[in-house]
Amino acid sequence: MNKIDLNSRCAVVTGGAQGFGRAITERLVASGAKVAIWDFDLPLADKTAKAIGDQVIAIKVDVTDPAAVDAARDTTLKAFGKIDILVNNAGIAGINKPVWETDLDEWRKVLRINLDGPFIVCKSIVPAMIGQKYGRIVNIASIAGKEGNPNAAHYSSSKAGLIALTKSLGKELAQHDILVNAVTPAAAKTAIFDQMTQQHIDFMLSKIPKRRFVLVEELAAMVAWLASEDCAFSTGAVFDISGGRATY
C-alpha cells in the first residue's frame, strides 16, 4: 500500500457501510483520517464502523432528504470539528430494462439517489469547506456515465449528470482550495450486482479489455490520492479506472 498522508483529516463517505464505500473508508482510515459513514442502513454501518476501528462513526442518513443531510452534517461537525473530505459514493443500480419499459418512478428513484443525493450533500457541506478554506470532494461516477449502458439508461444518465456536476462545482470552488473530482470505475463484484441481471453483468465484463472487474481496493487507492493534499491542481476532472474500456 502506498503511503498517503491524511493525518488530522476528517471525512464523510456516503454509502460507506459496504462495497466501494467500505473499501474507501478503510483506506482513508489507514492513511490517518477519521471517517463518518453516512448510510441508510444504520445497523450495517454500525457493524462496519466497529470492524474498522474507533476512527469511524456511523450516522443514518437518507441522502435525498435535505433536512436529514443537514442533521448528519451537524452531527459530524460536532464529533470531528470539521469536514475536510467528502466522498459521494451512495448509489443504486436500478432495474435493468430498456427505456420504453422503464417505469417513471424507477427512473426518478435512481436519479434521486445517484444525482440529487450528491447535489444535496454538496450543497450542505460545501459552505463549511469554504469557511475553512480547504476541501476535497470525490464523486463516485461510473463508466456507464461516459458510455451509456443499454438497459440501464437511468443509471447511466445519473452518472453522466454526476460527471457534469463535478465539472461545474470544480470550477465554482477552484479559488477556495476545494478540489472536486470524479472517478469512473468499471463494475466491481459488490452488493450492487444483486440489482442486476446476469445478462447485464456479462455485458459489462465483455467490454473490459483486462477481462476482469475492478477491485474495490483499487478504486479506494485512487480516491485516497484524490482526497489528499498531494492532489493540488486537478479539479473538475474525471479519473478513469475501467480496465481500458474507456480511454478518454
How far apart are alpha carbons 229 and 237 in whole angstroms? 16
pLDDT of amino acid 246? 85
pLDDT of residue 190: 79
Say yes or no to pLDDT of 148 above 80: yes
What percent of the chain clears pLDDT 70, i.e. is strictly above it? Answer: 100
DSSP state of 191: G
Q: How many CA atoms lie within 13 A of 117 on its CB side?
A: 29
Q: What is the pLDDT of residue 204?
A: 85
User: Beta partners for 105?
Assistant: none
Whether the pTM exceeds 0.75: the reply is yes
Tens-digit pLDDT profile for residues 209-224:
998 999 999 999 999 9
E strands in the chain: 10-14, 34-39, 56-60, 85-88, 135-140, 178-185, 237-241
Q: Return the SS3 of 131.
A: helix
Q: Is the pLDDT of residue 151 over 80?
A: yes
Task: Give tens-digit pLDDT for 40-59.
Answer: 999 999 999 999 999 999 99
User: What number is the average pLDDT over the span 84-93?
Assistant: 97
Pairing label, strands 178-185, 237-241? parallel
* Mean pLDDT score, 94-107: 97
pLDDT bucket at 13, cuts 50 / 70 / 90: very high
- Per-residue pLDDT, 100: 98
**Can you give the pLDDT at residue 248?**
76
pLDDT value of residue 157: 98
Whether the per-residue pLDDT at 226 is higher than 80: the answer is yes
Any catalytic annotation for residue 248? no
DSSP string, 203-243: HHHHT-TTSSPPPHHHHHHHHHHHTSTT--S--SEEEEEST
Name the nearest CA neighbour of 19 among 55, 40, 48, 42.
48
Domains, the chain, in order of start with CATH, read: 10-236 (3.40.50.720)
Assess whether pLDDT exceeds 80 at residue 79. Answer: yes
By mean pLDDT, which of 47-51, 163-167, 195-199 is the weakest?
A: 195-199
Dihedral angle sign, alpha carbons of residues 26, 240, 95, 12: positive
Q: Could you say which of 80, 155, 225, 239 is catalytic?
A: 155
Q: Which range, of 75-84, 140-149, 198-207, 237-246, averages the lowest pLDDT?
A: 198-207
What mean pLDDT comes out for the span 149-153?
A: 94
What average pLDDT does the chain have? 96
**pLDDT of 183:** 98
- pLDDT value for 192: 73
* Mean local confidence (pLDDT), 182-193: 86
